[in-house]
Amino acid sequence: MSSKGKLRRALIHPNSLTMYRIAAVPGVVILCYFPNRLCLFLAAILFSAAAITDYLDGFYARQMGLESVFGKVMDPIADKLLVSSSLIMLASLGWIPAWVVCVILGREFAVSGLRSIVSEKGEDVSASWLGKYKTGFQIAAIIPLLIHFPYFGVSLHAIGMVFLWLSLVMTIWSGADYFFRFRKLLNPHG
């Protein structure tokens, strides 16, 4: 394989894509410190590009047979870092209710803890379809909320808020589903 091919393979390696997502977090946060049209548009583009790597790393891991423990552990952490830091910045700007961020982050911590317990007992901890939809709605909310300003008479903030409320419903529903599915493992007497 040529050095160009090796470089391309390294750049699209699933673990590299996960690390790109983590590396994007400070960029999104810094751009949000300057809440003007240009910086927020750039933050939304950076967030979008990072969110796309979430799909690509799983796709390439399956296609290239590169599924790894690192990927299984770091992929959900990278997702949570990207989404939670963006939501925290949006709340700090006063553009979304802080309590919504608390509910979303509380669910993430609770489900992460549950997944640790479940994996120790040898059970499958893969994300459910509800969890995947939850992430999709969160991404669909964050992008227009980051852009924030109206363009061509369209209130992107209002669109983002609709998706934020939908993501809140999916967040609660998917969290309850996780605990319901694994309730027998949480029973210390069962």
Amino acid identity for residue 56 in this structure = L
Q: Which pLDDT value is given to residue 180? A: 85
Give the count of alpha carbons within 13 A of 31, CB side only.
Answer: 20
**Helix, strand counts (H, E) of the chain:** 8, 0
Burial letters for 33-43: b for 16+ Cβ neighbours within 10 Å, e otherwise?
A: eebeeeebbbb
What are the pLDDT digits (tens) for 112-157?
Answer: 888 877 777 776 666 678 888 999 999 999 999 999 999 999 999 9
Write out the two tokens for 145.
């909320």
Prediction pTM value? 0.86
| The pair of three-digit structure tokens given for residue 135, joined into one six-digit string | 């992430």
Q: What percent of the chain has pLDDT over 70?
A: 82
pLDDT digits (tens, 9 = 90+) for 84-105: 999 999 999 999 999 999 999 9
Question: What's the domain range around 94?
Answer: 3-186
Residue 36's region, left for phi above 0, alpha for psi from -120 to 50, else beta, is beta
Q: Provide the domain count of the chain.
A: 1
User: Does residue 62 carry a pLDDT above 90?
Assistant: no
The pLDDT value recorded for residue 4 is 59
CATH code of residue 39? 1.20.120.1760
The answer, yes or no, to whether residue 46 has pLDDT greater than 90, is: yes
